[in-house]
């Protein structure tokens, strides 16, 4: 499917309480095709009243017997139905994502649509497997009385889910699938750059049979709509994926309100190559770790540590991959890397490359914009061979920019890898299991990969150490994030 096939069907309104709607004040903002810089659509710019309407709908749906008291198997069935609908409408959703986000159509199909279907099906299964425990208490009063005690997990309530623009559909599903499996209701705010697939997802959930108000999608700006959603008194739990900077603001508000909060934040993930590695595998792996999704990945392998003796060989190998990468529209089958998401983001990435150069980094590959109209940045490799780390070694770029650093012994590489405020992901590349496990032990990161990078699965917990976040998504861990424990104590 290409653009012409579906643009007339693009939904451009919010979806609240089972209906499409505009913002109360009629205000809208533009969303763009990042490959060309042209406007695709205008979507509602939600204000306080719109957020209030969405939270009120979610609260009403949460309190209603139709949702909270629905048998878990019925919730499971609805989620499976939604997975089927996402799959059936996969070509349209993938094309919409490529049009609005810029990523390669193949990745939109495989990851945004395929991943969403996989997560929805996995989380559907949890609906029927949420359980508590039975406890034997030691209470001795009054004499002769015994106690039967148990715990049960109850839904956390109304969830505010706020997501970024790098994997718009998949990030939305990472939030809504477990929240709905647990019996919560949701108000989802997609990123202002990429709201289109989230709106369509809400419509498909309606078609699947989710009651009105159970899943609402509001479009708007972070500082207004997002902030209003986070501080709304009708919200019980906030789940946020985005930058550490905004995560701190949201965390403070939630602490003040004593709301439950999960934060998936930024990263500066190290890729540590050991001297026994298979060089070709390490080169391809390190290139994929940083250039996948144009570097717009929270776990992007953006810091590369290479033994000094192999530095030139490995860095030149990755630079070759960068130089040979074909930039273009995500709809073009020949394209290997699409644009960044927005003009603003391209300017930020370009300024960080310029800063790296100004501070003495050597640009080994890329550094330019490929002379194109859209928001392109060439895949870039910067060598930082001096002892003084560049700013770009510390700060998240969130673009296709790798900084490579030589090391003399592994402990030095691990210390450098850990000298970061972030701790989201890391990878180590070696053929020796004992050496791999030593690095796994020592690296401070929520996920450590060995001879691979960026691999995620619905069964595998995911989240950050340090400033990369609080809490874990996926697997059994996610059930705790969307439920509260209720203890029951019965005297007999």
CA distance 135 to 428: 43
Q: Are 299 and 425 in contact (CB under 8 A)?
A: yes
End-to-end CA distance of the chain: 66
Task: Write each residue from 157 to 196 as x if it is in contact with ligand NAP (CB under 6 A), else as -, in one continuous string.
Answer: -----xxxxx----------------------x-xx----
230: contact with ligand NAP by CB under 6 A:
yes
Q: Closer to ligand NAP at the Cβ: 127 or 218? A: 218
Task: Write each residue from 113 to 152 as x if it is in contact with ligand NAP (CB under 6 A), else as -, in one continuous string.
Answer: ----------------------------------------
356: contact with ligand NAP by CB under 6 A:
no
226: contact with ligand NAP by CB under 6 A:
yes
Interactions with ligand NAP, residue window 461-480 (CB under 6 A): 464, 469
Q: Closer to ligand NAP at the Cβ: 246 or 410? A: 246
With helix as H, strand as E and coil as C, how does the chain read?
CCHHHHHHHCCCCEEECCEEECCCCCCEEEEEECCCCEEEEEEECCCHHHHHHHHHHHHHHHHCHHHHCCCHHHHHHHHHHHHHHHHHCHHHHHHHHHHHHCCCHHHHHHHHHHHHHHHHHHHHHHCCCCCCCEEECCCCCCCCCCEEEEEEEEECCEEEEECCCCCHHHHHHHHHHHHHHCCCEEEEECCCCCCHHHHHHHHHHHHHCCCCCCEEECCCCHHHHHHHHHHCCCCCEEEEECCHHHHHHHHHHHHHHCCEEEEECCCCEEEEECCCCCHHHHHHHHHHHHHHHHHCCCCCEEEEEEEHHHHHHHHHHHHHHHHHCCECCCCCCCCCECCCCCHHHHHHHHHHHHHHHHCCCEEEECCCCCCCCCCCCCCEEEECCCCCCCHHHHCCCCCCEEEEEEECCHHHHHHHHHCCCEECEEEEECCCHHHHHHHHHHCCCCEEEECCCCCCCCCCCECCEECCEECCECCCHHHHHCEEEEEEEEEC
**Contacts of residue 311, Cβ cutoff 8 Å, sequence gap at least 6:** 383, 385, 404, 406
CB of 317 to ligand NAP, least distance (A): 26
28: contact with ligand NAP by CB under 6 A:
no
54: contact with ligand NAP by CB under 6 A:
no
CB of 224 to ligand NAP, least distance (A): 8
> Which of 267, 338, 361, 366 forms a contact with ligand NAP (CB under 6 A)?
267
CB of 470 to ligand NAP, least distance (A): 11
Q: Closer to ligand NAP at the Cβ: 166 or 483? A: 166
Task: Write each residue from 318 to 337 as x if it is in contact with ligand NAP (CB under 6 A), else as -, in one continuous string.
Answer: --------------------
Contact segment (CB under 6 A) with ligand NAP among 156-164, 254-262, 323-331, 361-369 equals 156-164
> Which of 62, 398, 429, 449 forms a contact with ligand NAP (CB under 6 A)?
398
Which residue has its beta carbon closest to ligand NAP? Answer: 222
Q: Closer to ligand NAP at the Cβ: 342 or 430? A: 342
CB of 72 to ligand NAP, least distance (A): 27
Q: Closer to ligand NAP at the Cβ: 212 or 266? A: 266
97: contact with ligand NAP by CB under 6 A:
no
Q: Closer to ligand NAP at the Cβ: 75 or 268? A: 268
- Which residues participate in catalysis according to the annotation? 264, 298
Contact segment (CB under 6 A) with ligand NAP among 125-133, 204-212, 224-232, 476-484 equals 224-232
Contact segment (CB under 6 A) with ligand NAP among 215-223, 304-312, 351-359, 450-458 equals 215-223
44: contact with ligand NAP by CB under 6 A:
no
Which residues lie near ligand NAP (CB under 6 A)? 162-166, 189, 191-192, 221-223, 226-227, 230, 241-243, 246, 249-250, 264-267, 298, 396, 398, 424, 464, 469
């Amino acid at each position: 499917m290409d653009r012409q096939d579906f643009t007339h069907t693009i939904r451009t309104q919010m979806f609240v309480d089972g209906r499409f709607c505009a913002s109360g004040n009629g205000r809208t903002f533009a969303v763009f095709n990042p490959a060309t810089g042209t406007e695709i659509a205008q979507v509602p710019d939600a204000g306080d009243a719109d957020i209030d309407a969405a939270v009120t709908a979610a609260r009403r749906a949460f309190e209603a017997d139709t949702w909270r008291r629905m048998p878990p198997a019925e919730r499971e069935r609805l989620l499976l139905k939604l997975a089927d609908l996402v799959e059936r409408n996969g070509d349209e959703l993938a094309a919409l994502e490529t049009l609005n986000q810029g990523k390669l159509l193949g990745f939109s199909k495989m990851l945004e649509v395929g991943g969403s279907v996989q997560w929805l099906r996995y989380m559907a299964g949890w609906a029927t497997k949420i359980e508590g425990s039975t406890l034997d208490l030691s209470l001795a009063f009054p004499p002769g009385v015994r106690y039967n005690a148990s715990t049960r997990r109850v839904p956390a309530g109304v969830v505010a889910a706020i997501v970024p623009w790098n994997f718009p559909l998949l990030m939305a599903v990472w939030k809504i699938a477990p929240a709905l499996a647990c019996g919560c209701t949701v108000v989802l705010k997609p990123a202002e750059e990429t709201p289109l697939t989230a709106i369509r997802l809400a419509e498909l959930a309606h078609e699947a049979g989710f009651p009105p108000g159970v899943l609402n999608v509001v479009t708007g700006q972070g500082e207004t709509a997002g902030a209003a959603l986070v501080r709304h008194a009708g919200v019980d739990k906030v789940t946020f994926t985005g930058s550490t900077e905004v995560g701190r603001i949201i965390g403070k508000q939630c602490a003040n309100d004593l709301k439950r909060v999960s934060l998936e934040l930024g990263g500066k993930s190290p890729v540590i190559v050991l001297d026994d590695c298979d060089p070709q595998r390490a080169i391809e792996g390190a290139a994929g770790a940083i250039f996948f999704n144009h570097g717009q990945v929270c776990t992007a392998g953006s810091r590369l540590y290479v033994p000094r003796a192999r530095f030139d060989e490995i860095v030149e190998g990755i630079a070759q991959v960068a130089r040979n990468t074909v930039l273009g529209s995500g709809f073009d089958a020949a394209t290997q890397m699409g644009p960044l998401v927005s003009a603003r983001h391209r300017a930020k990435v370009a300024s960080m490359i310029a800063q790296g150069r100004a501070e003495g980094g050597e640009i080994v590959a890329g550094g330019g914009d490929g002379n194109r109209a859209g928001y392109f940045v060439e895949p870039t490799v910067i060598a930082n061979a001096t002892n003084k780390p560049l700013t770009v070694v510390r700060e998240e770029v969130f673009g296709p920019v790798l900084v490579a650093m030589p090391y003399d012994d592994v402990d030095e590489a691990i210390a450098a890898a850990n000298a970061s405020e972030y701790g989201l992901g890391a990878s180590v590349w070696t053929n020796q299991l004992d050496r791999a496990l030593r690095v796994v032990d020592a690296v401070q990161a929520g996920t450590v990969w060995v001879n691979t990078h960026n691999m995620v699965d619905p069964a595998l917990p995911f989240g950050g150490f340090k400033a990369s976040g609080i809490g874990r998504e996926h697997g059994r861990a996610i059930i705790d994030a969307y439920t509260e424990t209720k203890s029951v104590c019965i005297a007999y």
